[in-house]
């Protein structure tokens, strides 16, 4: 087999995944058409949870199964007066149901590859190996969530009367964070807190979850042994994969809490050397655990779209805007170091546009639409970063999503019609907007940071809560500061996208692991309200994308982003920047601006009341042409 034949097989698998996704999305169509007799899997899901099916629950269970999100389910459970303990129990049962459903689908893919002798024996082993490790990771996910999210973190909040600052102070004082490369507090942990009498002790995953991690290590050893038996005749990367798996085995087996970051950096180094269209994803991100940033149990295969043509357009526009803003600051050696650090990282980015093929563990609680990794800046300094973007997947999901009553009530039919015409009929332009907003977001993460930025700025735990705004705005700035006219025609759609994102993120107010995105939305709302693009009075939102207001909006973003960049260069605590826009009201961040505050409360109330109700006044058939 040569590389062309191999890429044709990749194309075949890619098409298989698209067809499978369409089949799964049919559950949404059955819901829209009220063909409940075809939703037997949802009947079974409700029965497993011992819940009485109604329209709201049916919608929430489909969202949980198809889109892997459980915020709708949590709202429905709260509405039906379930207490916190019951909700946690039902979330876990739902996770297990979703896990079984998707693991069956993953097995179908592996059988399809085997039956049709696709790829080469080496890459067939990669798929099988990832699957067997994935099953072990998914089993471990349940105890990981139970201990870290639902036990320890809740106990810590209770211990300090919901005062998060005190929690962080306590963890630091008691040396309960992992140490990083230079033996300073790391920006993440590969360990869990275990209570002994009335004190907490940090334990590496292998000690805190001995049985589960041992199963993962056994599966990885078996995977590595099988790969050694076959050759990679296409990309000649066999030993890169094997060394990567061996680095994972060492990292998972490491018992010394203060050696974990270094061992996982070796995993990232080995992984960065793999440059084939079949990319494995391992534990990389740490959104779920707000306090110690315990790294989540990601495990997957990302398949690159073989028809994707690499282009440097976005990164070049980002660099131009980055340089323009940097040059507006006074010269400073410390600033220059950070600027050059970011620039070198941008230059080393490997970009993969594709689809998730297999996914396990934490990813049954939601897949990302794009990702820039590794987060270890020491590794990135040496090896660069990989950006993954699932644009085909996101487009498919967006077109399949049901129309909701809440969207029509808040955004109005005029804006929705424009947006839907674009979504269903402008595929190429849709991908260009995704490039600005989502791929731009991932490049935006790289800017203004060096190897210690996160650890220094996160003393009070809010780094991620401004970092997502920094990332999205980095992509927007590359668009707003652009002197070329080649993307000008996308302006209205980029702004509609921004309005929808800023408002839509309010729905995540009570979902702890996506708090950074919720906070991002709150800051964007300031931009939109300050420039009068949005106005809220008499329980009604007015949206006005007048050209003068758009110019004001661009100025707002450039000024705010410049201030934020300076904040990062000075490595000031993240909370100081966030508190200009949002402060804690009880458990959740709320806008400082009174008008925005009342809108956020209004929207969230409406989301709780009608967030799961379908819009029957508009239909997809109004937009799908031909």
Peptide bond into 202 cis (omega under 30): no
pLDDT digits (tens, 9 = 90+) for 147-177: 999 999 999 999 999 999 999 999 999 999 9
Quote the radius of gyration of the chain (alpha carbons, Å): 24
Kind of pairing, strands 588-591 and 582-585? antiparallel
In 3-state terms, what secondary structure has residue 411?
helix
Structure tokens at 487: 């993307």
pLDDT digits (tens, 9 = 90+) for 458-486: 999 999 999 999 999 999 999 999 989 89
| Per-residue confidence band for 513, with pLDDT thresholds at 50, 70 and 90 | confident
Structure tokens at 431: 């991908």
Give 453-457's long-range contacts (Cβ < 8 A, gap of 24+): 453/338, 453/377, 453/568, 453/571, 454/187, 454/375, 454/377, 455/180, 455/184, 455/185, 455/186, 455/187, 456/571, 457/568, 457/571, 457/572, 457/573, 457/574
* Residue ranges of E strands in 228-362: 278-281, 298-304, 350-361
Structure tokens at 119: 């790829």
Task: Yes or no: say if 357 and 119 are a contact pair by the CB < 8 Å rule.
Answer: no
pLDDT digits (tens, 9 = 90+) for 358-411: 999 999 999 989 999 999 989 998 999 999 999 999 999 999 999 999 999 999
What's the chain's average pLDDT? 96
- Measured at the CA of 395, the angle between CA 302 and CA 618, to 5 degrees, comes to 150
Q: Which residues pair with 298 in a beta bridge?
A: 361
| Per-residue exposure over 27-64, b if at least 16 CB sit within 10 Å of its own CB, e if not | bbebbeeeeeeebeebeebbeebebebeebbbbbbbbb
Query: Which stretches of 49-185 are DSSP H helices?
Result: 55-66, 71-79, 84-115, 121-144, 153-159, 164-173
Task: Yes or no: say if 112 and 16 are a contact pair by the CB < 8 Å rule.
Answer: yes
What average pLDDT does the segment 63-87 reach?
95
Instruction: Evaluate the CA torsion angle 487, 493, 499, 505 in order and state its sign.
Output: negative
Decide if pLDDT at 309 tops 80. Answer: no
Per-residue pLDDT, 342: 94
136: left (phi over 0), alpha (psi -120 to 50) or beta: alpha
| Per-residue exposure over 363-378, b if at least 16 CB sit within 10 Å of its own CB, e if not | bbbbbbbbbbbbbbbb
Element (H, E) at 193: strand 191-196
**pLDDT cut 90: percent of the chain above it:** 93
DSSP label at residue 461:
S
What average pLDDT does the segment 27-39 reach?
97
Rounded Cα distance, 27 and 154, in Å: 35
Task: Yes or no: say if 544 and 553 are a contact pair by the CB < 8 Å rule.
Answer: no
Rounded Cα distance, 386 and 354, in Å: 13
In 3-state terms, what secondary structure has residue 412?
coil
Per-residue pLDDT, 412: 96
DSSP 337-354: HHHHHHHHHHHT-EEEEE
pLDDT digits (tens, 9 = 90+) for 442-454: 999 999 999 999 9
Per-residue pLDDT, 24: 97
Name 227's Cβ contacts closer than 8 Å, sequence gap at least 6: 122, 125, 126, 129, 238, 241, 242, 245
Query: Which stretches of 384-514 are DSSP H helices?
Result: 391-400, 405-411, 413-425, 427-434, 440-446, 453-457, 463-480, 491-504
Decide if pLDDT at 79 tops 80. Answer: yes
DSSP label at residue 400:
H
pLDDT digits (tens, 9 = 90+) for 275-306: 999 999 999 999 899 899 999 999 999 999 98
| Per-residue exposure over 545-557, b if at least 16 CB sit within 10 Å of its own CB, e if not | eeeebbebbbebb
| Per-residue confidence band for 258, with pLDDT thresholds at 50, 70 and 90 | very high
Task: Yes or no: say if 604 and 507 are a contact pair by the CB < 8 Å rule.
Answer: yes
Which residue reads 């600052």 in tokens? 165
| Per-residue exposure over 172-192, b if at least 16 CB sit within 10 Å of its own CB, e if not | eeeebbbbbeeeebbbbbbbb
Name 33's Cβ contacts closer than 8 Å, sequence gap at least 6: none
| Per-residue confidence band for 92, with pLDDT thresholds at 50, 70 and 90 | very high
DSSP label at residue 296:
P
Decide if pLDDT at 226 tops 80. Answer: yes
| Per-residue confidence band for 241, with pLDDT thresholds at 50, 70 and 90 | very high
Per-residue pLDDT, 626: 63
pLDDT digits (tens, 9 = 90+) for 588-610: 999 999 999 999 999 999 999 99
Query: Which stretches of 149-209 are DSSP H helices?
Result: 153-159, 164-173, 205-208
What average pLDDT does the segment 96-103 reach?
98
Rounded Cα distance, 124 and 103, in Å: 17
Rounded Cα distance, 17 and 298, in Å: 20
Rounded Cα distance, 212 and 144, in Å: 9
Q: Which residues pair with 280 in a beta bridge?
A: 301
Task: Yes or no: say if 619 and 418 are a contact pair by the CB < 8 Å rule.
Answer: no
Which residue reads 């600027």 in tokens? 339
Q: Where are the domains of the chain?
A: 1-118, 141-301, 398-622
Per-residue pLDDT, 408: 97
């Amino acid at each position: 087999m040569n590389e062309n034949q191999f890429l044709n097989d990749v194309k075949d698998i890619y098409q298989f995944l698209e067809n499978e996704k369409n089949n799964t999305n049919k559950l949404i169509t059955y819901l829209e058409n009220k063909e409940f007799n075809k939703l037997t899997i949802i009947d079974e899901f409700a029965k497993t949870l011992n819940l009485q099916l109604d329209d709201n629950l049916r919608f929430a269970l489909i969202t949980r199964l198809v889109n892997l999100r459980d915020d709708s389910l949590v709202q429905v459970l709260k509405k039906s007066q379930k207490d916190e303990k019951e909700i946690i129990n039902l979330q876990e049962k739902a996770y297990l149901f979703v896990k079984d459903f998707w693991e069956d689908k993953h097995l179908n893919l592996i059988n399809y590859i085997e039956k049709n002798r696709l790829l080469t024996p080496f890459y067939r082993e990669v798929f099988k190996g990832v699957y067997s490790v994935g099953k072990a990771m998914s089993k471990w996910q349940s105890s990981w969530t139970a201990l870290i999210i639902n036990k320890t973190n809740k106990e810590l909040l209770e211990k300090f009367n919901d005062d998060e600052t005190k929690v962080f102070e306590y963890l630091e004082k008691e040396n309960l964070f992992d140490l990083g490369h230079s033996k300073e507090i790391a920006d993440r942990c590969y360990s869990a807190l275990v209570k002994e009498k009335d004190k907490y002790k940090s334990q590496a995953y292998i000690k805190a979850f001995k049985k589960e991690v041992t199963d993962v290590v056994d599966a990885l050893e078996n995977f590595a042994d099988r790969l050694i038996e076959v050759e990679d005749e296409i990309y000649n990367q066999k030993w890169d994969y094997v060394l990567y798996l061996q680095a994972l085995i060492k990292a998972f087996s490491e018992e010394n809490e203060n050696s974990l970051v270094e061992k996982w950096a070796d995993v990232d180094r080995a992984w960065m050397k793999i440059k084939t269209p079949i990319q494995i994803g391992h534990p990389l991100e740490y959104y779920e655990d707000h306090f110690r940033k315990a790294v989540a149990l990601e495990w997957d295969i990302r398949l690159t779209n073989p028809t994707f043509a690499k282009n440097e357009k976005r990164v070049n526009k980002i660099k131009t805007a980055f340089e323009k803003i940097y040059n507006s600051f006074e010269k400073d050696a410390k600033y220059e170091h950070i600027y050059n650090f970011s620039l070198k990282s941008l230059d080393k980015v490997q970009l993969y546009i594709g689809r998730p093929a297999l996914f396990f563990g934490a990813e049954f609680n939601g897949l990302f639409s794009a990702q820039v990794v590794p987060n270890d800046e020491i590794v990135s300094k040496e090896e660069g970063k990989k950006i993954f973007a699932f644009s085909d997947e996101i487009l498919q999901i967006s077109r399949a999503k049901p129309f909701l009553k809440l969207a029509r009530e808040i955004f109005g039919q005029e804006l929705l019609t424009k947006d839907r015409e674009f979504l269903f009929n402008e595929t190429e332009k849709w991908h260009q907007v995704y490039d600005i907003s989502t791929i731009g977001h991932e490049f935006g993460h790289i800017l203004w940071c060096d190897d210690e930025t996160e650890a220094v700025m996160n003393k009070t735990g809010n780094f991620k809560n401004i970092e997502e705004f920094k990332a999205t705005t980095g992509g927007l700035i590359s668009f707003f500061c652009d002197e070329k006219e080649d993307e000008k025609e996308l302006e209205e759609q980029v702004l509609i996208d921004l309005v929808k994102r800023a408002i839509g993120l309010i729905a995540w107010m009570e979902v702890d692991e996506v708090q950074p995105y919720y906070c991002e939305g709150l800051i964007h709302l300031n931009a939109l309200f300050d420039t009068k693009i949005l106005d809220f009075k008499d329980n009604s939102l007015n949206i006005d994308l007048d050209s003068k207001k758009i110019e004001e909006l661009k100025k707002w973003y450039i000024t705010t982003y410049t201030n934020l960049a300076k904040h990062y260069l000075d490595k000031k605590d993240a909370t100081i920047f966030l508190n200009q826009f949002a402060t804690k009201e009880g458990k959740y961040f709320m806008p400082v601006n009174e008008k925005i505050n009342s809108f956020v409360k209004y929207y969230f109330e409406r989301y709780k009341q009608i967030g799961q109700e379908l819009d029957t006044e508009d239909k997809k058939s109004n937009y799908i042409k031909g």
